[in-house]
Amino acid sequence: MIKLLPEKCIGCGLCVKACLFGGITLDNKEPALNEYCTACGACVDVCKVGAIVLEGERSKAGHDTSLYSGIWVVAEQRRGRLQPVALELLGKARQLADARGSSVTAVLLGSGMDMHGETLIQHGADKVFLADASFLSDYRTLPAERVIGGLIEQHKPEVILFGATTMGRDLAPRIANRFRTGLTADCTGLEMSPDGLLLQTRPAFGGNIMATITTPLHRPQMATVRPGVMKAQHSPGRKGDIETVTAEPAPSDDLVHILSSVKKEQGRIALDKADVIVSGGRGLRDPRNFKLLEELAGFFSGQVGASRAAVDMGWIAHDHQVGQTGKTVRPTMYIACGISGAVQHLAGMQNSDIIVAINKDPQAPIFSIAHYALVGDMNIIVPALIEQLKSA
């Protein structure tokens, strides 16, 4: 508990500045806690006069981490088709496991999924747990949590990765709650420390910073990763084991019935499948200039993207938005026109193979990750590029 000693307070205000949550206020040298206080202890650490103290000890209770090993990927399928995010996560899991000196296991639930076991192995899994049963054909929270949770209790993985999809965002917190462990959502980077801590990087505080989060005391360490962030690795000659898991329905499964599934109609915007994306931001200065980007993208059979600023101003539909609150893409070439490069936007496109940035501000953050930087007004540079492509 945080305890305040107002008689010692000198009104320096260091505690207010240290609190990231606005949980402490200072009025006439009278410190006060409010409902936003999380008892993190940041104010205790900076108070130089002992006016704020922490009663009791910070809890060091957790799991016996030595009992846990291996990296798991929960492989998602829809209507019997393996989702690309499963293969992307296996590629990253393989890198993490090699750094850790451990193994990779894929967990796949569904009906008639036998043919996918080898695919998962070829993309990085050493072992596949395959739960094949008719009641698992469509994803439902309760049976999926029950089957996967049972496997976790039995085998104790050190790390579990999920796709940040509709399914992953529903299932991952349910499992994290069951095992009283941490979960980091929408990660854009994952690394493994020498002592086995999963370093989970994601945008935080509205995308203004990139935070690296760890779960030092509890296991398994869990994270969700948005589709398109990681890169799949295919090794046709890989060998591994496929273990069939016996899964039986339970009465609780019938609490939810899926009456029908309606596939959302896909428009012509498929940014996640485009090889070339030409995106525009506030620097276009006029929504009509998106016609220039469409013309430029047309030379590469590409798609037009946009920053959040352009979408918020109503210049283009949200389907085109790239970034933390839009789509995460990994094209062969990404051309950013008049986009400064806020952290939120970079999180959605920084893994593109080739990044071309056009901006009149030589200090624009987008240039820090660009392979090719064109400094100047995009309304001059883009038409010039189009003319050169026409003549070529």
Task: Provide the pLDDT for residue 21.
Answer: 86
Q: Where are the beta strands (DSSP E) in 234-378?
A: 241-245, 276-280, 303-306, 333-337, 354-359, 372-375
Average pLDDT of the chain, as a whole number = 90
User: Which has more confidence, 161 or 28?
Assistant: 161
Orientation of helix 290-298 relative to helix 378-391, angle to 10°: 30
Provide φ and ψ at 117, rounded to 5°: -60, -45
Q: Which two tokens stand for residue 63?
A: 């799991």
Position 299 pLDDT exceeds 60: yes
Over residues 312-340, mean pLDDT: 91
Task: Provide the pLDDT for residue 142.
Answer: 93
Over residues 32-36, mean pLDDT: 87
How far is residue 94's CA from residue 263's CA, in Å, rounded to a whole number? 32
Cβ atoms of residues 119 and 86 within 8 Å: no
Position 208 pLDDT exceeds 80: no
Task: Provide the pLDDT for residue 171.
Answer: 96
Task: Provide the pLDDT for residue 211.
Answer: 87
Helix (H), strand (E) at residue 167: helix 166-178
How far is residue 100's CA from residue 197's CA, in Å, rounded to a whole number? 10
Cβ atoms of residues 346 and 333 within 8 Å: no
Q: Which two tokens stand for residue 32?
A: 């006060």
How far is residue 357's CA from residue 371's CA, in Å, rounded to a whole number? 8
The string of pLDDT tens digits covering residues 59-103 is 556 788 889 999 999 999 998 899 999 999 999 999 999 999 999
Q: What residues contact 14, with CB distance under 8 A and at least 6 apart?
A: 46, 47, 48
| Confidence grade of residue 26 (pLDDT, cut at 50, 70, 90) | confident
Orientation of helix 141-155 relative to helix 166-178, angle to 10°: 50
Residues forming a β-bridge with 77: 82
Domains, in order of start, for the chain: 2-54 (3.30.70.20), 65-251 (3.40.50.620), 271-391 (3.40.50.1220)
Over residues 104-111, mean pLDDT: 95
Which residue's structure tokens are 């994290």?
A: 176
Position 42 pLDDT exceeds 90: no
Task: Provide the pLDDT for residue 257.
Answer: 85
Indicate the SS3 state at residue 213. strand
The string of pLDDT tens digits covering residues 228-261 is 888 899 999 899 999 999 999 888 888 888 888 8
Cβ atoms of residues 227 and 88 within 8 Å: yes
Q: State the Cα angle at 313 between 310 and 316, rounded to 5°.
A: 55
How far is residue 48's CA from residue 63's CA, in Å, rounded to a whole number? 34
The string of pLDDT tens digits covering residues 144-189 is 999 999 999 999 999 999 999 999 999 999 999 999 999 999 898 8
Task: Provide the pLDDT for residue 227.
Answer: 87
Over residues 263-282, mean pLDDT: 80
How far is residue 346's CA from residue 327's CA, in Å, rounded to a whole number? 11
How far is residue 8's CA from residue 389's CA, in Å, rounded to a whole number? 72
Over residues 258-267, mean pLDDT: 72
Task: Provide the pLDDT for residue 193.
Answer: 92
Q: Which two tokens stand for residue 145?
A: 């949590």
Position 37 pLDDT exceeds 90: no
User: Which has more confidence, 265 or 319?
Assistant: 319
With a pLDDT cut of 70, the percent of the chain lying above it is 96
| Confidence grade of residue 342 (pLDDT, cut at 50, 70, 90) | confident
344 vs 16, 236, 347, CA distance in Å? Answer: 27, 36, 5
Provide φ and ψ at 215, rounded to 5°: -125, 85
Provide φ and ψ at 228, rounded to 5°: 90, -10
The string of pLDDT tens digits covering residues 345-390 is 988 898 899 999 999 999 999 999 999 999 999 889 999 999 999 8
Indicate the SS3 state at residue 346. helix
| Confidence grade of residue 336 (pLDDT, cut at 50, 70, 90) | very high
Single pTM value for the model: 0.73
Q: CA torsion angle for 231, 232, 238, 240 (degrees, to 10)?
A: 100
Name the nearest CA neighbour of 382 among 323, 314, 336. Answer: 336
| Confidence grade of residue 108 (pLDDT, cut at 50, 70, 90) | very high
Position 268 pLDDT exceeds 60: no
| Confidence grade of residue 264 (pLDDT, cut at 50, 70, 90) | low
